[in-house]
Amino acid sequence: MTDDRAILDTVERFLERHVRPVASTLERADEYPHEIVERMRELGLFGCVIPEGHGGLGLRPSTYAQVIERMSWEWMSLSGIINSHLIMAWIVNRIGTDRQKREFLPRFATGALRGGLALTEPDCGTDLQAIRTVARREGDHYVVNGTKTWISNGIHGTCFALLVKTDPTAEPRHRGMSMFLAEKGPGFTVGRKLAKLGYRGIDSAELVFEDYRIPADRLIGGVEGAGLKHAIVGLELGRVNVAARGVGVAQRALDEAVRYAQQRRTFGKPIHEHQAIALKLADMATRTEAARLLVGKAAEALDRGDRSDYEAGMAKLFATEAAVENSLEAMRIHGGYGYSPEFVVERLYRDAPLLVIGEGTNELQRLLIARRLIERSPI
């Protein structure tokens, strides 16, 4: 296993030297960070959780979560470029056939082939069983028709874990769902880039499939009807990622607020000496530390290979809400300056709301947590 401390130190240096000077400019322009992505490839970050035997770094999820926290502290959009990609890789490593692992994981690890997770549709978000994209078997191929939306890496990515219906009449509905490794080609087009409030730089796009032919051996795991299960396996890692992003954003908001509270003076003293500001800083710090501990616990469950939807749900729920609350408090502490794009807190305020929506809304997390709680505590 790669030396975790060395990886984290390398990531810190990379972020400081190559991301910090340009992040705000790229974010405001909503410009894809090509040069940064190339450096991420060189560092092996597209292979963070891919086993070393397949060319990856072989990081434990707990170390990966720390990488994402640091990355999100600097510029959250970068974490999305590898998150969706690594969810796809995680699914293949956990569930894919031996041939799929041999063929795809080494290319995923180098970033030569990169992309993400294609689940969401125009009329389907949280309720994945309502997807309408259909794959029909024709000999040794499937023919896919449908549309996906809000797909991260949709424009610059080249391969996606694609969730479809192989049996639209199946009951219960999840038994008719399957997942494929879909590389771009004839019949697979990018509809449009979608504009966003925050989380800029990373491309979010609409993907359109019109009689797109995909080889049958790209069916993940080689068995129809397990697509929803595959998505859930991937989202366990995804929720740890999004929770770690929440910690990074919450910590950055806290750090910016603490610095400004010592620089800004009113009524003859630094504003941190005013009780109203001091109370905000204390709450922000407590939220951040509590979120970090929850993320660590969820990631360690994944390290052990345990079922982690309970822990990951709690981490995702708390850490992302902490990001939203801290970003707002940081803006209030900065006053009018916090409303200006010249200050980082304005970006944090726009980025944070995505986290309570992505990888399953926080309302859904509460329902999942409650369900698992009852399962764990029968009477």
Q: Which residues are marked as active site?
A: 359
With beta carbons less than 8 A apart as the criterion, state whether 93 and 302 touch: no
252 CA to centre of own chain = 18
The Cα 99–Cα 311 span in angstroms is: 32
Q: Output the DSSP codes for 340-356.
A: STTSHHHHHHHHHHHHT
CA 327 from chain center: how many Å?
A: 19
Least Cα distance to 118 among 35, 170, 183, 202 occurs for 183
Determine contact, residues 364/125, Cβ cutoff 8 Å.
no
Q: Which amino acid would we find at residue 25?
A: T
Sign, CA dihedral 66-234-209-141, equals: positive
Distance, in Å, from the CA atom of 75 to the CA atom of 97, rounded to the nearest integer, reads 35
Q: Residue 304 corresponds to which tokens in the numbers above?
A: 């052990």
- Dihedral over Cα of 326, 329, 330, 331: its sign: positive
